[in-house]
Amino acid sequence: MIRIIACGKVKDAWLRKGIEEYATRIRPYDKIEIAEVPDEKAPDSNSAAENEQVKLIEGERLLKKINDGDYVILLDLAGKECDSIALSERISSIYTYGKSRIDFVIGGSLGVSEALIRRSDFRWKLSSNTFPHQLCRLLVLEQIYRSFRILHHEPYHK
């Protein structure tokens, strides 16, 4: 099964709708769950140390959602690229080698903690461009859906 583990509620109704839409499209291929942990306030007036603290707390909350045997794909601007074909191959080989749950972890607005980086099995750079972390949820779901379409030799949109 696939889990998206992410921080904070999605505020925009259109974005919630899009996320739900892609989750629905994935369901015929695999179980999918979105696990949301509360985010911390990070006002612009925060010091660097305070921001570090926010990242740490959010990181701990995300970590708690991860089970021991899970394969963890961490969304990380400092990670490696993985195009749509490579992602489908990765998902297929994770399942083949006995892992039954893949967690896609999306950090909060300040990025990902060191502890999350250590726990991750693969750090994925989706783009060199920074996107709002809530929009990332949609993009990750679209890529997972696309992966299953590729694995099932079905057409998918470009």
Joined tokens for residue 65: 């959602």
Q: Name which of 23, 51, 50, 70 is nearest 108 in CA terms.
A: 51
Min CB(33)–a copy of itself separation in Å: 21
| Number of helices (H), then strands (E), in the chain | 5, 5
Indicate which single residue of 1, 9, 17, 27 sits in contact with a copy of itself (rule: CB under 8 A).
17
On whether the CB atoms of residues 61 and 36 are closer than 8 A, the answer is no
Indicate which single residue of 55, 90, 146, 149 sits in contact with a copy of itself (rule: CB under 8 A).
146
Binding mask 102-121 for a copy of itself (x = CB under 8 A): -------xxx----------
149/146 Cα distance (integer angstroms): 5
The interface with a copy of itself within residues 73-92 (CB under 8 A) comprises 81-84, 87
Q: How many binding residues for a copy of itself (CB under 8 A)?
A: 34
On whether the CB atoms of residues 75 and 107 are closer than 8 A, the answer is yes
Q: Where does this chain bind a copy of itself (CB under 8 A)?
A: 12-15, 17-18, 21, 44, 81-84, 87, 109-111, 126-135, 138-139, 142-143, 146, 155, 157-158
